[in-house]
Structure formats: C-alpha cells, structure tokens
C-alpha cells in the first residue's frame, strides 16, 4: 500500500473501489441528500444500498461476513461519500469504526460470531456509548455504572451524542461503565447491550446544526440487565481499549473531512465557471482563482496526511501522532474550505439548496467529534515528548 505515497497513484483495487463509491455517491446519495437534510430523516434507502455494496464490511475478514479489505479501503469510501453528504459518510464511519470495530478488536470468538455478521452486512447498526454530560473530552470521568448481580451486569447512567443509537436497525450499543472503584482509581469496562433491552432508552433525537440526516441520541440506562459474558474485552480495560479505537477512528474522520474539503472545491470550481459577473466567469478573477487554489492545496495536503497515517497503521507501526495530525489538518481544511466555498457562492452559498451551505453547517463538528482540535494538539505534543 505504501507505494502510492511516492507515486501518487492508487493501486487498481483501491482505485476501482473509489470509483464505484464515487458513482454511488453521485447517482444515489446526492439526489436525496438535500431532502433528508431538510426533513431531518435517516436515509434508510441509502444505507441499504451501502449495505448491498458491502461497505459496512470493508475492513473485516470474510469469515465474519466482511469483504476482506482493510481500513484504508474504508477511508477511501468515506472520502467519496463525504464529498456529497457528510451525514451518510458518518453513518458508515460510526457503524464500522464505533459499532463493529470494538467487537472485532476486543471481542471473544462467541461475541464475534454473534455480532459481526449482522454489523458487517449493514443489516444492523451498532453504536458506542462513551460520551457523558460531564465527561466529553474527559471520557475517563465516566459516571455510568455497572455492577454484577446474579450473573448479570446491571447498568445505570446516561450517555450523550451517540451516533446510530436510535435507528430502526440499531441492534447493539457498547457502553463504557465504571465496574469497580479502588481508592481514587475507577475501573472502566465495556459492556455489550443488545437493542432492545429492558431499561435501555434512546431519548428523542437532537436538533443539530448539521449532520441532520445522521441519527444521534442521548441514551438512558435504567437498571439494564445483560449477561455477565457481555463484557467486551478485559475487565477494567474499557477506556484504554477505546483509546485505540479513537486512534483508528481519527484516520477515518480525516478521510471524511478530506471528502468534505474536496466537495467544496469541486462545487466552487463548477460555480466559478458558470457564474458570470462584469462580462466574464467569476473564475477568471484572480481573487476567486487564488481562493480556489488554496482550497485545493488544503484538500491535497490533508489527503496526504491521512494516507500517511493509514499506511503506518496497516504496516503495524505506531501511528497515534500521525492520526492526530491527519484529523487536525483535515477537519480544519473542511471547515476552511466550507467557509471559502460559501463566500465564492455569495448569496447562493447561504441557501440550503446548494451543497456548500450544507457543508458549511456540517463541517464544524469535524473539529469536535472523536477528539477536538485541542485534543489533537495535545496528543501531537505529548507524542513529541512535551
């Protein structure tokens, strides 16, 4: 995989995947994106199409219903989807990275056999309940608890901002909870909660600024009882394990962000060629040319960053710093490009019928979710020995 980092050319299997997803994004996703965004509806028909294509199983082995690909293949798909609809892209990213990947990375064989075929097929969605009202970035401040009682975990608490947690096809929520306290040390574990389960409630969906077609809910756990064997991974390793998931997820979010940044470039180039002012296309004016050139440079640099992080990850080498760099650079590129694209479109850029308006609303969360900009800077600095 690392060969194309120097040549700039994707191997055939990756290039074909990117083209297939690009065609799907343009012909299936784009025509309905504005309607789902305006109505705040989950795009079940689009998700079904992605499931049929095998996108939810891209980085998983065939023995668990996957496509036998890798994480970079997922990133390429996210980039193409992110160009036209971030809500659809984050649905795939969360379904794979946060829903299925924890089971694959840390589950025992019985858990993998039970859950992965459902999740990799896209017939079911999984979610990860990590964030709480008083512990966003400080995820170690988890207050949700789980105690053992007669061979069952009894879970109580709340979670916030949980993606894919309340759809008609949500079948699993993995929740982090305090399973023991010793002095000042709090033992945090991950537990699998099937949906539906008595006492589990996905509260009414949020009214968000963007990602309006993405499913996001607060969750309530009221004496939720699940078997003791639903513990995911080693007891007390829930938080540490999820940090690994976040490192991988940052590469995926970077890829989605690059798609958003590139989508803004593409829409701006198209508009600048068609829109005339003072007797010529506005793309002929140097002010517009330079703005679009900077946008393209941001997208290009951000793409190189996530390619590099993905290459390190797949080679089995340390990639924490590079993943943080990719997420930082790409999310800022998406936000900066959305602002510039809106400016290029003028008044039309402020109208929701134009894709750049949706990117303008959607892109801000890319600088927050799966680790804020400030967290990425902290990770980078610490990896440098600061």
Residues annotated as catalytic (active site), given as ranges = 370
CA distances from 98 to 35, 126, 245, 289, 336 (A): 27, 7, 7, 40, 27
CA–CA gap between residue 263 and residue 96 (Å, rounded) = 23
196's CB contacts (< 8 A; 6+ apart) are none
What is the Cβ-side half-sphere exposure of residue 332, based on CA atoms within 13 angstroms?
Answer: 17
Closest of 114, 71, 113 to residue 96, by C-alpha: 71
Alpha helices (H) along the chain: 3-7, 12-24, 30-39, 44-53, 71-84, 86-93, 101-106, 109-120, 238-274, 286-314, 320-345, 355-362, 373-383
Cβ pair 335, 363 in contact under 8 A: yes
∠24-368-293 over CA atoms, to 5°? Answer: 60
Structure tokens at 355: 């894709």
Characterise 197 by phi-psi region: left (phi > 0), alpha (psi -120 to 50), beta (else). beta
Structure tokens at 310: 């993905």
Cβ pair 350, 357 in contact under 8 A: yes
∠80-86-92 over CA atoms, to 5°? Answer: 75
251's CB contacts (< 8 A; 6+ apart) are 71, 75, 306, 309, 310, 313, 319, 323, 326, 327
């Amino acid at each position: 995989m690392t060969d194309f980092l120097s040549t700039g050319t994707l191997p055939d299997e990756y290039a074909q995947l990117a083209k297939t997803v690009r065609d799907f994004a343009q012909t299936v996703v784009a025509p309905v994106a504005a309607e789902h965004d305006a109505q705040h509806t989950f795009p079940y028909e689009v998700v079904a199409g992605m499931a049929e294509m095998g996108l939810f199983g891209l980085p998983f082995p065939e023995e668990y219903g996957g496509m036998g690909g890798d994480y970079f293949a997922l990133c390429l798909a996210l980039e193409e989807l992110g160009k036209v609809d971030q809500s659809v892209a984050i649905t795939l990213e969360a379904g794979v990275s946060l829903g299925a990947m924890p089971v694959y990375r840390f589950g025992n064989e019985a858990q993998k056999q039970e859950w992965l075929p459902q999740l990799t097929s896209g017939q079911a969605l999984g979610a990860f309940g990590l964030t709480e009202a008083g512990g966003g970035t400080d995820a170690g401040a988890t207050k949700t608890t789980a105690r053992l009682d007669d061979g069952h975990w009894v879970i109580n608490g709340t979670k916030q901002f949980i993606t894919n947690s309340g759809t008609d096809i949500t079948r699993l929520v993995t929740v982090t909870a305090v399973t023991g306290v010793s002095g000042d040390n709090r033992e945090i574990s991950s537990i699998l909660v099937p949906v539906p389960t008595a006492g589990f409630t996905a509260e009414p969906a949020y009214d968000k600024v963007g990602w309006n077609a993405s499913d996001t809910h607060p969750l309530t756990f009221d004496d939720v009882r699940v078997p003791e064997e639903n513990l995911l991974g080693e007891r007390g390793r829930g938080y540490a394990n999820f940090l690994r998931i976040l490192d991988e997820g940052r590469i995926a979010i970077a890829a989605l962000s690059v798609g958003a940044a590139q989508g803004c470039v593409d829409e701006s180039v198209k508009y600048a060629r068609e829109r005339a002012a003072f007797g010529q296309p506005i793309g002929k004016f140097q002010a517009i040319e330079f703005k679009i050139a900077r946008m393209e440079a941001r997208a290009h640099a951000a793409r190189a960053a996530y390619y590099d992080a993905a290459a390190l990850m797949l080679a089995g080498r340390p990639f924490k710093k590079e993943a943080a760099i990719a997420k930082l650079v790409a999310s800022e590129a998406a936000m900066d490009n959305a602002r510039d694209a809106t400016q290029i479109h003028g008044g039309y850029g402020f109208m929701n019928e134009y894709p750049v308006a949706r990117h303008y609303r959607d892109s801000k969360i890319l600088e927050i979710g799966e680790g804020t900009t400030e967290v990425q800077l902290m990770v980078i600095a610490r990896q440098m020995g600061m």
